[in-house]
């Protein structure tokens, strides 16, 4: 039986241990054998290298690995598979592609990590209803490849080729959110295995209507729950028609203020932009080097427009007028598919581009979101404070919906630098809260933002969340130590 491990309280420093060391690997031989009997011996491992591989994500948070790893077989895991864990109160940590940024897969209390990547079937496509049902191992790129000849696509694009059910679990967003919404707007139904082994269809079995007023929104409850309430084993997703035409552009600005003012004005003018991304001068320099671009090293907007050819001409003309009024220069259009793909590949590789600026260092990505009207204020101030801090970092963001990130580079052996990064990130989160925003627009709470969540939702909100958790997971087995 897994031992309950002490979790650090209060402010949580990067790379600080979240688990007591030396107490993992405490699963009894009988439990491991019982688990093997249920899911099959080849699907269970206690090897150190396998456990370590499943004990971290892309974040700076580090923890002890799980006590065991269970690779879910290709068929959907049934209720009996839960009984060994539920019966002996062993924690369960689900993992997909493992590219989260808030330590969501860390085994804070040991237990069994369940790898869902082998469940990778697209089980049902309903093109007339603009919906599809996928298992948790299906990634967004795999789905869009499958949809290539259907005239449909799934637009939620966090950059990484994340698993779609993992994206639902974290409430993911991305570059297309300003036009198509986030995962919350594009999940119609979920199949969830609850901690006691019962199977829940959040909107009712097989249902895929685009809206419903039938009772509590159970689907919305599990989107963004980060694996703390149950394990998502299938998702019914909303699809969208592929646009008739697409045009992308980049434009450089004399200042951060000018770039963000252009963003706000484009939105206020009701220009139906599909993507509008901000990259500061440091980020542009990093992307130029890493992705072999030849863009101006200046605050820059990446824009993309979707629609008919006639509509695009009007959108492009209006957007160009607005950015030029704000001093934009080097306005460059990318109309061909290959050219657009290269541009957005550079944007999606921004994380690795920044890491390449300081080899050997680790990256920490902040993630705040504010109302659009407050975006110029917080971005300009954040850029000024990043310069004054002496830290190495860059700013990038989905500014069309008020969401942006500071990617900070940290020497993990430098305690002073670690402390300054932690202080900068916490202060940025609180600044967003003070402007009526949120401490996370898309990465989730995970391990690192639990205190900020308390400040964001208040005592009544936090207690309500605790009550929901206690009702659905009374033994606290599902991904313990995260969110709450």
Query: What integer pLDDT is reported at residue 81 of this predicted model?
Result: 58
Strand blocks (E) in 144-284: 152-153, 187-193, 199-201, 231-238, 240-241, 245-252, 273-279
Count Cβ atoms within 10 A of the Cβ of residue 387 and give its class: 0-12 exposed, 13-18 middle, 19 or more buried: exposed
Give the CATH number of domain 243-357; options: 3.30.1360.120, 3.30.420.40, 3.30.70.2190, 3.40.50.300: 3.30.70.2190
Query: What integer pLDDT is reported at residue 75 of this predicted model?
Result: 58
For residues 156-165, give the mean pLDDT: 92
CA distance readout (Å), 143 to 156, 165, 174, 182: 11, 12, 16, 17
Residue 159: pLDDT band (50, 70, 90) is: confident
Query: What integer pLDDT is reported at residue 76 of this predicted model?
Result: 54
Residue 332 has pLDDT above 60, yes or no: yes
User: Domain 122-241 belongs to what architecture?
Assistant: 2-Layer Sandwich (3.30)
Using an 8 Å Cβ cutoff, are 475 and 86 in contact?
A: yes
Q: How far apart are CA 395 and CA 114, in angstroms?
A: 34
Query: Which CATH number does 29-115 carry?
Result: 3.30.43.10
Q: What is the pLDDT of residues 337-374, one digit of tens each?
A: 888 999 999 999 999 999 999 999 999 999 999 999 99
Residue 62 has pLDDT above 90, yes or no: no
* Residue boundaries of the structural domains of the chain: 29-115, 122-241, 243-357, 360-445
Q: Residue 66 CA to chain centroid, in angstroms?
A: 22
Angle at 259 between CA 257 and CA 264, to 5 degrees: 90
Q: What is the pLDDT of residues 281-308, one digit of tens each?
A: 999 999 999 999 989 999 999 999 999 9
Give the CATH number of domain 360-445; options: 3.30.499.10, 3.40.710.10, 3.90.1300.10, 3.30.70.2740: 3.30.70.2740
Residue 38: pLDDT band (50, 70, 90) is: confident
Domains 29-115 and 122-241 share a fold: no
Nearest CA to 224 out of 11, 468, 433, 475 is that of: 468
């Amino acid at each position: 039986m897994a031992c309950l491990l002490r979790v650090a309280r209060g402010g949580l420093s990067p790379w600080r241990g979240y688990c007591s060391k030396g107490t993992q690997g405490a699963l009894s031989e009988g439990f491991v054998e019982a688990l093997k009997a249920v899911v099959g011996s080849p699907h269970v491992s206690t090897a150190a290298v396998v456990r370590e591989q499943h004990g971290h994500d892309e974040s700076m948070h580090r923890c002890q690995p799980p006590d065991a790893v269970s690779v879910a077989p290709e068929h959907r895991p049934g209720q009996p598979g839960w009984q060994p864990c539920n019966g002996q109160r062993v924690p369960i940590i689900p993992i997909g592609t493992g590219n989260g940024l808030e330590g969501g897969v860390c085994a804070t209390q040991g237990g069994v990590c369940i790898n869902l990547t082998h469940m990778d079937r697209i089980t049902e496509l309903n093109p007339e209803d603009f919906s599809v049902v996928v298992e948790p191992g299906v990634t967004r790129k795999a789905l869009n490849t499958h949809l290539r000849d259907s005239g449909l696509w799934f637009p939620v694009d966090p950059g990484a080729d994340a698993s779609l059910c993992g994206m639902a679990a974290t409430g993911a967003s991305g570059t297309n959110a300003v036009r198509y919404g986030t995962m919350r707007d594009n999940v119609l139904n979920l199949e969830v295995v609850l901690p006691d082994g019962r199977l829940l269809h959040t909107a009712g079995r097989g249902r895929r209507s685009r809206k419903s007023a039938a009772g509590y929104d159970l689907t919305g409850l599990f989107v963004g729950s980060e694996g703390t309430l149950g394990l998502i084993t299938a998702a019914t997703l909303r699809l969208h028609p592929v646009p008739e035409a697409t045009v992308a552009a980049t434009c450089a600005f004399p200042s951060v203020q000018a770039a963000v003012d252009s963003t706000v004005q484009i939105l206020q003018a009701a220009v139906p932009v599909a993507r509008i991304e901000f990259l500061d001068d440091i980020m542009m320099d990093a992307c130029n080097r890493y992705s072999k671009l030849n863009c101006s090293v200046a605050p820059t907007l990446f824009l993309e427009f979707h629609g008919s050819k006639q509509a695009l001409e009007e959108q492009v003309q209006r957007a160009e007028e607005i950015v030029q009024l704000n001093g934009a220069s080097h306005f460059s259009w990318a109309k061909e598919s290959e050219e657009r793909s290269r541009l957005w590949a550079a944007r999606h590789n921004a994380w690795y581009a920044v890491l390449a600026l300081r080899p050997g260092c680790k990256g920490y990505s902040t993630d705040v979101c504010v109302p659009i009207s407050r975006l110029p204020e917080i971005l300009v101030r954040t850029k000024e404070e990043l310069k004054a801090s002496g830290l190495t970092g860059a700013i990038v963001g989905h500014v069309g919906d008020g969401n942006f990130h500071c990617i900070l580079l940290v020497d993990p052996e430098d305690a002073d630098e670690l402390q300054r990064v932690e202080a900068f990130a916490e202060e940025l989160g609180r600044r967003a809260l003070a402007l009526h925003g949120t401490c996370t627009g898309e990465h989730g709470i995970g391990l690192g933002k639990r205190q900020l969540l308390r400040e964001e939702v208040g005592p009544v909100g936090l207690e309500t969340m605790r009550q929901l958790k206690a009702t659905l997971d009374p033994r606290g087995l599902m991904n313990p130590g995260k969110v709450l």
